[in-house]
Amino acid sequence: MIRTVGLVAKYHEPKAAQMVRWLIPWLKKRGKKVCVENGLVHRGARSCSKKEMAAEADLIISLGGDGTLLNIAPLVIRPEVPILGVNLGGLGFITEVAVGELEAVLSKTLDGDYEVEPRMTLQVRVISKQGRTRKFRILNDAVIAKGARSRIIDLETHVGDDYLCTYRADGLIISTPTGSTAYSLAAAGPILEPTLGAIVLSPICPHTLTNRPIVVPSNAVIRVTLRSFGDTVFFSPDGQQGIRLHNGDQVEARDYGMPVSLIKLPSRSYYEILREKLKWGER
């Protein structure tokens, strides 16, 4: 049963603030407790951090675009907690509910009449040459990329125990099926149906033109070791602020083993979303 609803929204977006002001009394009238992320304080709702919200809410509503949802989704470690993504006007592939549909969709959701789509997440570890480890949970992609003034970098890549190649490129994108329509798509990666169990490796501007994106099974462990001296290289999880990598540092990615549950509209298929967002069939 849904007792507590969490609201996250795109900061400084007037439409998001307007939606929050409408949603709080609407939810309270239906007997729901409401928590909003810090910075969106409104009367009738409790302010909390994203981490607290992920731990306490029975339903999370994300108001904004894909980036807003990506900020909260990796923190939700209970697959039974659904996330409702509301698109406020961007390209978003993950946030499929339009503003005009929200009241009807939310009414059904609170009554328990909804479908969820499990989306694979990745566990990514950044291991320094000295052995220090930082861990991340990823819904879209993990990106290794050179700085603006750096040369092409060398990325020694293994899939499991098998050596794949050493990419000489501007970087490498390690993507989930959900993230296949994000940065990976811009790097000529394939589009994967989002419920597939797979991982995509897409090189960014590879020096060797025969280096193409490759899809590997979800049970594979990807290990990428930076083999470049003196270059500025960053690792960026789900488009968040990057961390600096140095020669010999390793990025390891594998299935996290726990999906994120996104509420989907039964009236709209993934292929309809692709046609709409990518404007397929238009002349």
Shared domain check, 223 and 136? yes
CATH of the domain at 23: 3.40.50.10330
**% of the chain beyond a pLDDT of 90:** 72
The string of DSSP letters for 141-210 reads EEEEEE-TT---EEEEEEETTEEEEEEEESEEEEE-SGGGGTHHHHTTPPP--TTS-EEEEEEES-SSTT
The owner of tokens 């098998």 is 162
Shared domain check, 152 and 107? no
Q: How confident is the model at residue 13, as a pLDDT?
A: 78
Structural domains counted in the chain: 2
Say how far apart CA 106 and CA 103 lie, in whole Å. Answer: 5
- The per-residue pLDDT for range 153-197, each reduced to its tens digit, is 999 999 999 999 999 999 999 999 999 999 999 999 999 999 999
CATH of the domain at 206: 2.60.200.30
What's the angle, vertex CA 264, arms to CA 198 and CA 102, rounded to 5?
Answer: 145
The owner of tokens 């809410």 is 57
Shared domain check, 49 and 15? yes
Say if residues 95 and 218 touch (Cβ distance below 8 Å).
no
Shared domain check, 168 and 80? no
Structural domain includes residue 57: yes
Instruction: Read off the pTM.
Output: 0.93
Shared domain check, 16 and 79? yes
Shared domain check, 148 and 248? yes
- The per-residue pLDDT for range 242-256, each reduced to its tens digit, is 899 999 999 999 999
Q: Annotated catalytic residue: which of 58, 66, 141, 249?
A: 66
Phi, psi of 122 (to 5 degrees): -110, 145
Q: Residue 50: how many CB atoms within 10 A of its CB?
A: 17
Largest CA distance in the chain: 60
Shared domain check, 99 and 15? yes
Shared domain check, 237 and 182? yes
Shared domain check, 79 and 149? no
199 contacts: CB under 8 Å, gap ≥ 6: 122, 174, 175, 176, 215, 216, 217, 218, 220, 222, 253, 255
Distances 283 to 93, 142, 273, 279, 280 between C-alpha atoms, Å: 22, 34, 18, 9, 9
How would residue 74 be classed by pLDDT, with cut points 50, 70 and 90?
very high
Structural domain includes residue 61: yes
Least confident of 123-127, 193-197, 264-268: 264-268
Average pLDDT over residues 59-88: 93
Shared domain check, 167 and 46? no
For 126, the domain range is 122-255
**Encoding tokens for residue 195?**
């419920």
Say if residues 202 and 173 touch (Cβ distance below 8 Å).
yes
Structural domain includes residue 283: no
162 tagged catalytic: no
Question: What residue ranges in 45-114 does DSSP mark as E strands?
Answer: 46-48, 59-64, 82-87, 97-98
Shared domain check, 63 and 38? yes
Q: How confident is the model at residue 148, as a pLDDT?
A: 80
Shared domain check, 111 and 13? yes
Structural domain includes residue 232: yes
